[in-house]
Amino acid sequence: MNGLDARAKPANFANRWLAFWFTPTDPRPLAVVRILAAAIGLLLLWSYAADMQTWFGPDGMIDPATAAAWRSPFGFSIYDFASSAAAVRLVFAVTVVVFLLLLVGWCTPVVSLAAPVLWATLLHRGPMLAGAADDCLAVLLWCLAIGRSGRGLSVDHLLAVRNGRATSPPSVRCRIAEGLLQVHAAVIAAAATVAQLKGDVWWNGTAAWWLAVRQDSRLVDLTGPFGASEYLMNLVTHAIPLFEILFAIGIWPAATRTAVARAGLVAWPLIGLLAGAPLWGLTLATLGLPAALRTPPTP
């Protein structure tokens, strides 16, 4: 009997592992991720727009050789071949159009592949300018390239319905994309915790204060409440890595996954707001969105 139990445990784990990656799922949660990722991408593109020529133009501050020295040997950028201001504007305009099409879900199979490639070509042209939100958006876009996010909440879906074609059956590709989003959400949360706990300010409870006093990046002034209450400052400081640990672990068990992911929809944007990086917080919340939209298991 013990031998049967010993053989059953690996078999059960293998079945759960296969079910995690290959159980067909509703494409609509991934469609919501597509809309949010495209919106975040447009906001980030808007932040680049005013200085595109300054950074990447023919006489820009970052020449192709400098950019190539910063990035991976396997990286490339279409902007390296944009030898005129008009060419830089053209590549950037195409990127904006692709993100707009991704937002509304038109020609989604094509634009969901074009978006991460064009986003990568922008980041590779100025890798030293990329922030945490830029990198997290890249993860979102590559996961969307795998799934079938155009099968819901999209122009493609409306056109298919008008033509009498069913386009929203559960999809294995959507499940793989959601699984990759969940893996990255947990890994990024764990990495953030490890990075924070290397600093003394996260142990002595003052990290929230130092985030609040950075006038160059803060969006909300919390120096008054933190200055008036050391306990509040310590509570916020210690709550951040505690939540990140709970998120990285709790997003895996079926019993806690939905609740933890839903808590992340609130907690990650708040952490991003405190850190002066609201789009980073929003991208992390979006990574966990499919788990948050999933119906929690009944006891």
What integer pLDDT is reported at residue 70 of this predicted model?
85
Per-residue pLDDT reduced to its tens digit, 108-165: 999 999 999 999 999 999 888 889 999 999 999 999 999 999 988 999 999 988 888 7
Query: How many of the other CB atoms lie within 10 Å of CB of 24?
Result: 12
Q: Do 106 and 215 have their domain in common? A: no
Q: What is the number of residues in the chain?
A: 299
Residues 154, 267, single domain; the answer is no
Instruction: Identify whether 15 is part of a domain.
Output: no
Same domain, 58 and 144: yes
Q: Note whether residue 5 is domain-resident.
A: no
Task: Tell me, rounded to whole angstroms, the distance of Cα 127 from its chain centroid.
Answer: 18
| Rounded Cα distance, 209 and 274, in Å | 10
What DSSP line would sit under 75-87, residue for residue?
Answer: ---GGGG--SHHH
Q: Does residue 65 have a pLDDT over 90?
A: no
Residue 243 lies inside a defined structural domain of this protein: yes
Q: Are residues 135 and 189 in the same domain?
A: no
How much is the pLDDT for 10?
64
- Is 195 in the same domain as 124? no
Q: Domain range holding 93?
A: 25-170
Average pLDDT over every residue of 241-247: 96
Q: Do 149 and 33 lie in a common domain?
A: yes
Query: Which of 170, 200, 223 corresponds to the end of one domain?
Result: 170
132 and 187, same domain (yes or no): no
Same domain, 200 and 95: no
Which residue, 170, 201, 218, sits at the end of a domain? 170
- State yes or no: pLDDT of 211 exceeds 70: yes
Give mean pLDDT, residues 165-184: 89
User: 1 pLDDT band (50/70/90 cuts)?
Assistant: very low
Q: For 56-70, 108-122, 127-141, 208-222, which range has the lowest pLDDT when averaged over its residues?
A: 208-222
- In a domain, residue 4? The reply is no
Within this chain, do residues 260 and 190 fall inside the same structural domain, yes or no? yes
Enter the pTM of the model: 0.91
Cβ 255 vs Cβ 289: under 8 Å: no
In the chain, the number of structural domains is 2
